[in-house]
Amino acid sequence: MTSPTGEIYRIDWVPGTDILHGTCHCGAEHSAQDPIEMWEWMLGHPEGHHPEGHFTDRSQGNSS
């Protein structure tokens, strides 16, 4: 049996939009429309995560 890590992942739906806003246990924030992308970002910690308070917004799609 594994013990709890104490890490909290939070994903909120932004009312009136198709946007999900996530906050990682490290404090990094990210927005996306795709729930799979959001969970991949969360569980990929620390890849793609920036110092606390840094916000990445990919809700408008990929610009590349």
pTM above 0.75?
no
Q: Which 3 state secondary structure label does DSSP give 61?
A: coil
Residue pair 28/57 in contact (Cβ under 8 Å)? The answer is no
Q: Taking a C-beta distance cutoff of 8 angstroms, is the pair 26, 43 a contact?
A: no
Q: What is the pLDDT of residues 4-59, one digit of tens each?
A: 667 788 999 999 999 999 988 888 899 999 999 998 988 887 776 765 554 555 55
- Taking residue 58's Cβ as centre, other Cβ atoms within 10 Å add up to 17
The CA distance from 40 to 8, in Å, is 15
